[in-house]
Amino acid sequence: MAETKREIERKYDAPGPEFRLPDLRKVPGVADTDARGVVELDALYYDTPDQRLAAHGITLRRRTGGADAGWHLKLPVAKTDGARDEIRAPLQDTVPPELTRLVRAHLRDTALVPVVRLRSARDVTLLAAPDGTTLAEVSVDAVRAERADGAAATAWTEIEVELADDADPAVLDRVEKRLRKAGVDRSAASSKLARALAETGAGGPATAPAAGPVTAGDHVLARLRAQRDALLAHDPAVRRDLPDAVHQMRVAARRTRSAFKTYKKVLDPAVTAPVAEELKWLGAELGTDRDHEVLTGRITGRVDAVPATLLLGPVRARTKIWALHGVRDSRERTLGVLDSARYLALLDALDALLADPPLLPRASRAAPDVLARAALKDRDRLGARIAHALSLEPGTERDLALHDARKAAKRARYAGETARPALGKKAGRFAKRMKAVQSLLGDHQDSVVARDTLRQLAVQAHAAGESAFTWGLLYGEEHAAATAGERALPGVWGRAAGADLPAG
C-alpha cells in the first residue's frame, strides 16, 4: 500500500567533489550534528518517451539502497517553495498501479519507460535541536547519472537539505545562510532528474524561454495554458482526496470555458465549442462531489449553532448519515470520471487546441484594447442579468435568475483576471469587485440548495416519527439569509458597476 510523506528540501551545488560541510553547529538553533555515514543509492527514473512527467516537475523512480528503498512518486506542492509530496510504494519489478493512476492524466495511453539511472554516494548528517529532536537532514551526494540507453553519462556533487517532520521551515533559511558563507549556491536545477536529463541529453535539445505575452491572442493562450496545467496538477490531488482539490479542478475547467466565451472574437468558437461542451460535462461531474462538500459544511454549521434546547430529535445523527451517504456516492462517481476515456479525450483535445490554436484576426491586435472591451462587455452582461432578477417577485423564478447572474459574475471576474497581466492593478480591482458580486450570489444559491435539502430531511424525519421542528428552524434561517443577500445586492453591484478598465 502506498504511503505519503511531505518533503520540503533545498538543493545546492557543491564547489567540487572534495567539498566538506562547514560546521553546522554554528547555525542558530542547532545544538549538535550527527554524522550517519555514507549510503549507496541506485535509482532508475521512469517517464514517457516525450517526458511529460518531467515537464510538470513530477518524478517517478525505483530506488534501492537506504532506509526507504521502493517506488517513489514525487508531486509538486503548489505555492510552497521546495515542497513535494512523495508517495511511496513497496519495491517490485514493475510500476505499482496505485502510482500509475496518480499520473494517468499525463500518461493517458502512453507507456512509461526508463529514462535515466542515478547512482549516488550519500553522506548524511542530522541537525539536532537543544532538546535532541531532529531539525533537518543534510546530505552531500556524489552523483553519477547515465541515460537508460547508456549513450551518455555525467557526474556532479550536490548538497541537499531536507526539513524534518514538524520542524520550523525557518531552519532552512538559517542553514542556507551558513552554506552561502562557505561558498555554496542554490542549484539551478529543480531536481537531480532535471539536471541528469539536461546534462546527458536525455531531455532532448534545450529550448529558449518563451517570450512574454504581447498580443491579445498571446494573453488568452497564456490563460488557457495555465488552466490546462491546473487541471493536470489537481488531478492527482482529487484522486488522493485532498482538501479543496475537487473545487480547484472544477475552477480550472470553468475558467477555460469562460475564456472560450469571453474571447470568441479571438479564438474561433466553431473550434472551441466542442471542447467547451466537454469541459461543461467535466465541471458538472466534479460538481457532484464539490457541491455535496459545500452543502455538508453549510448544514453541519447550522446544526452546530442551534442551542441545545432547540435541537429536538436525532438531528445530528440524521445529518451525519445524510452527509456520509452523499460522500460515498459522489467520491465513487468522481473517480469513475477521472478514469474514463471521455476525460482523457478531453485532455487530448485541450492539448491539440493549444498546439494549433484557432486564432481569429483580432488575436493579433494589441492586448489592452481587446481584453478591456471583452471584460467590460461581460460586466454589462452581468448588470443586465441582475436587473432582470431584481425585477422579479421573490420566489423560484427570481432564484433561478440570480443563479444565472452568479454565472455571469464569474465570467466577468475571470475576464478581469485574464486582463491583469496586460492592464495591471485596475484589472485586479475589476476582478475583485466582480468577485464580491459572485460571492454574494454564490451564498444566495447555496441557501437555495440548502433549503431544498433541509425540506427533504424534514420530510424524512417526520416520516420516521421524529420532530421536524429543528429542520423548520434551519429552513427559516436559510430563508432569512437569502433575503438579506437580495437586499444587499444592489449596493454590492453598484460598487462593481463603476469598475472601469483602460483600453490601449
How many whole angstroms separate alpha carbon 54 and alpha carbon 14? 24
User: Is 209 a residue whose pLDDT tops 60?
Assistant: no
- Domain shared by 268 and 410, yes or no: yes
**Residue 504 counted as domain residue:** no
Domain that holds residue 86: 3-200
DSSP assignment of 331-381, as one string?
A: HHHHHHHHTSHHHHHHHHHHHHHHHS--B-GGGGSBHHHHHHHHHHHHHHH
Structural domain ending residue among the three candidates 144, 165, 200: 200
- Domain shared by 152 and 228, yes or no: no
pTM: 0.87
- The single residue listed with the C-alpha cell 487546441 is 353
- Domain shared by 149 and 224, yes or no: no
Bridge pairing between strands 32-47 and 83-89: unpaired
The per-residue pLDDT for range 27-45, each reduced to its tens digit, is 999 999 999 999 999 999 9
- Of residues 78 and 483, the one with the higher pLDDT is 483
Structural domain ending residue among the three candidates 131, 166, 200: 200
Which of 210, 250, 207, 259 is CA-nearest to residue 230? 250
- Domain shared by 119 and 232, yes or no: no
Tell me if 66 sits within 8 A of 78, measured CB to CB. no
- Domain shared by 173 and 229, yes or no: no
Name the domain count of the chain.
2
The predicted pLDDT at position 206 comes to 55
Which of 79, 98, 82, 101 is CA-nearest to residue 90? 98
- Domain shared by 233 and 155, yes or no: no
How many whole angstroms separate alpha carbon 148 and alpha carbon 142? 19
The per-residue pLDDT for range 407-439, each reduced to its tens digit, is 999 999 999 999 999 999 999 999 999 999 999
Q: How confident is the model at residue 287 (pLDDT cuts 50, 70, 90)?
A: confident
User: Is 338 a residue whose pLDDT tops 60?
Assistant: yes
Distance of CA 19 to the CA centre of its chain: 39
How many whole angstroms separate alpha carbon 458 and alpha carbon 467? 8
C-alpha angle 146-148-150 in degrees, rounded to nearest 5: 60
Tell me if 180 sits within 8 A of 27, measured CB to CB. no
Tell me if 367 sits within 8 A of 222, measured CB to CB. no
Q: What CATH number has the domain bearing residue 144?
A: 2.40.320.10
**C-alpha cell recorded at residue 471:** 429542520
The per-residue pLDDT for range 253-283, each reduced to its tens digit, is 999 999 999 999 999 999 999 999 999 999 9
The predicted pLDDT at position 174 comes to 96
